[in-house]
Structure 1
Amino acid sequence: MGATDTREHIVEAADRLFYENGYAATSFADIAAAVGLSRGNFYYHFKTKDELLGAVIARRLASTEAMLAAWEEGASSPVARIRRFIDILVMNRAKIIAYGCPVGTLCEELAKLDHAAQDDAAAIFGAYRGWLAGEFAALGRAADADSLALHVLMRSQGIATLATAFHDEAIIHREVAALTAWLAAEVGEASRPTPTAPQRPS
């Protein structure tokens, strides 16, 4: 295995362990064991855990951006693309119930630690926010696109948090259906023509 492949395997393992166990609770030894490296070989690739955290965040951001780009190519309309985002909760429901939202839990932990990388982690939410706002703008809602994007993000995080807290998959299915219905109502408002005032007879 080449040095580049080894580094990628380290970042992949760290990404999984940071998600499942938390950043603070995961040690270099845990990650080295997961990859099957000696401590010496591990330190060749990453000198500090903060450096490794930066690589994990960069990996997650790149993965998010690639997924959003794929949605742009694979879905025919802004509504269908927004639904792809909402449906992430259903697709990842088992992991969410076990460990929470990977982005939300990392941002929350780094904020509690007052870690220097917390803004970098929040950039993943920023990518979703900007993308969702762009989709709402494409629906003719440019004036409130950012507010709508934040609404979807906040509801999604609330769903994930409560599903994790109660270990209840039904919360995800019920609230995703409600969020999808809300989106349909917003789309209906966006697609209807603006009524014109009746003309007075001259």
Structure 2
Amino acid sequence: MIKESNKRSRLLEAANKLVYAQGFNQTTLADIAREAEVPLGNVYYYFKTKEDIGQALIGYRADFYGGLIAQWDRLPDPKQRLHALIGEVEGQREALAASGCPIGSLCQELHKDGGVLAEKSADLMGAILGWTEQQFRELGKGTESADLALHLVTVLQGASLLTHTFNKPDLVLRETTRLRKWVDSL
């Protein structure tokens, strides 16, 4: 049983890495099996279809970002928590230049095809937006909170997209610096 779950974990980690680097549609089950060092036939034991691995991948990323949010929630002040979100993006600037935002890129690609995976991927972005809105509510921003959260996440996503488009990590750094000042001014 432990060996079996290890294979499943390796497959998910390989899928996460490959889908981030080359996209969901460009990544085959054979690519994932090769990266995970699992025979291709064994992949079907854990994931019957590519959509199954897509759903598991979305869950994998949700768990990862849920873990980050749980860490940030331990910070005593909502401004510190917002700075932690901004810092996470800032810290990923080299990876963003190479492959874009792990959530934003996946959402964009899956939404072109529509369906269940598109809906589930939207939940990833929705969770970040909801958490960000909660931080603004705790700052006393009331009805403005949703718009403030939308602005913050939009700037982070836009900076991530442009960083990837131009392969310039400093673009994220410039925008996160502005965002930190903006958050501090609230």
| TM-score of the two chains, using structure 1 as the length reference | 0.88
Shift of 1:62: 1.3
Aligned length: 185
Shift of 1:9: 1.0
Partner residue in 2 for 1:92 = 92
The 5 A counterparts of 1:1-202 are: 2-73=3-74, 75-186=75-186
CA distance in 1, matches of 2:160, 2:184: 21
SS of residue paired to 2:116: coil
CA distance in 2, matches of 1:131, 1:116: 23
Pair member with larger Rg: 1
Shift of 1:2: 1.4
* Partners of 2:101 and 2:157 within 8 A in 1: yes
Shift of 1:76: 2.2
Letter in 2 for 1:81: R
Letter in 2 for 1:177: T
CA distance in 1, matches of 2:66, 2:36: 26
Shift of 1:65: 1.2
CA distance in 1, matches of 2:45, 2:170: 46
SS of residue paired to 2:48: coil
Which has the bigger relative contact order, CA under 8 A and spacing at least 6? 2
Structure with greater helix percent: 2
CA distance in 1, matches of 2:40, 2:162: 39
Letter in 2 for 1:104: G
Q: Matched residues, percent identical? A: 32
CA distance in 2, matches of 1:171, 1:45: 40
Structure 1 runs (4+) greater than 4 angstroms displaced:
none
CA distance in 1, matches of 2:103, 2:71: 19
1:108-154 C-alpha deviation (Å, 9 max, x unpaired): 00111224311101111111111111111111112211111111110
* Partners of 2:97 and 2:168 within 8 A in 1: yes
CA RMSD of aligned residues (A): 1.1
CA distance in 1, matches of 2:117, 2:43: 22
Shift of 1:41: 1.4
| TM-score of the two chains, using structure 2 as the length reference | 0.95
Instruction: List gaps (5 residues or longer) in structure 1.
Output: 187-202
Instruction: List gaps (5 residues or longer) in structure 2.
Output: none
* Partners of 2:7 and 2:38 within 8 A in 1: no
SS of residue paired to 2:27: coil
SS of residue paired to 1:140: coil
SS of residue paired to 1:37: coil
1:37-70 C-alpha deviation (Å, 9 max, x unpaired): 2122121111111000000001111111121011
Letter in 2 for 1:18: V
Letter in 2 for 1:158: G
